[in-house]
Amino acid sequence: MMSTRNIASFGIVFLIVGWCTYTIFLNNKNEKEASRDTQHSSTAAPQIRRTSEEARVVDINHKQVKNTDTSHRQIIGHLCSLSMPLSVLCIGDSITYGNGSHVRKKERDHEGNYPVALEKYLRAACGVRQRSNDIVVTNLGSSGKTLLDGFKQSYKNTTLYKTAVKLAATAHVVIVMLGTNDSKPRHWRSKEAFASALVDFVEHLSTINEKLKFVLMTPPPSFPDPRVVRRLQKHTMLGNIRPVIIRNDIRVAVMSAAERTGADVIDIFGEFDTMDDLHSLAGHLEENKSGRQLDEVEAGHVATTIQQYFHDGVHPTLESHEFIASIVAHELTGV
């Protein structure tokens, strides 16, 4: 039998070996995390000025859904934990479509589109090679389309919707950002109708693939066309889009639909609205509902502010597309 001294010596050796093994493991873990952080930071979007660090927090619907059948739809913060390869579908209007670079078509050379940037950021955050097929983001944006049915412009009438239905069978995540075109007088009904239409949209795709995870996004704010503001010194919206409907009705409806379906929500509108200059500009436009003539200096200031983010008041600039993509990537991965 072993003596008490031998047992003590063996215990000390065991503790030393265990501590060394743990130290090596911890160092390797830290090195991997540092490497991942470096990779992610190398592809980070240019930072648009914020009101404060707290403004980075997105208004996400973290409420627990009572219907446990829909809990699987939530993905916020956990995308990298899903098994690869991953397929992410981005459904939307021209704000999602961007400049068409995803189909090698450049309608507006100075634009991009957030799905292309999102793929880059997700690959970096999840630590996969940039040119791999481990994460594929598909741009299914279609210009001028609405969520609401009953119109020729309804997204459900497009060939891209048929493509979305087909791809949904094997996809993992669906991101939906519609509503800007619904705000037009000829399309708009009510926020209740919009929320119900969005719920139906999610439920239909869920019947194709019950494992689909959904992220519903509020559209960014819209502003007067800065080119017209500068030339005519008046606030004129592109295509009769109504910013107040987007702010007060569509934004609320998207969050309501997310709660009803168990989907996650990212408040893209709120992210832009936390910027000092855009928030102040929105207040200025609200005060000037009468459409009074602006003086030259005021018109120049309004136009310059808008063009920093939206080249025509509605469609994001390249920097804003990158900004949207960075927000979505951060929320989906937690990195």
| pTM, to two decimals | 0.77
- Total count of domains within the chain: 1
- CATH code for the domain in which residue 106 is found: 3.40.50.1110
Structural domain includes residue 58: no
> Domain limits at 194?
70-222+240-293+317-333
Computed over its alpha carbons, how large is the radius of gyration of the chain?
24
Structural domain includes residue 110: yes
pLDDT by residue, tens only, the chain of 335 residues: 445 444 445 444 444 444 444 444 444 444 444 443 434 344 444 444 333 333 333 333 333 333 334 555 678 788 998 888 999 999 999 999 987 665 656 554 456 899 999 999 999 999 988 778 899 999 999 999 999 999 899 999 999 999 999 999 999 999 999 999 999 999 999 999 999 999 999 999 999 999 999 999 999 999 988 888 877 776 677 788 999 999 999 999 999 999 999 999 999 999 999 998 888 888 777 766 656 677 888 888 888 999 999 988 999 999 999 999 999 999 999 88
Structural domain includes residue 111: yes
Structural domain includes residue 20: no
Q: Residue 146 in 3-state DSSP?
A: strand
Structural domain includes residue 228: no
Detail the DSSP E strand segments found in the chain. 86-92, 135-141, 173-177, 213-217, 264-266
Structural domain includes residue 144: yes
Laid out side by side, the sheet with 86-92 consists of: 135-141, 86-92, 173-177, 213-217, 264-266
Token code pair at residue 70: 């829909």
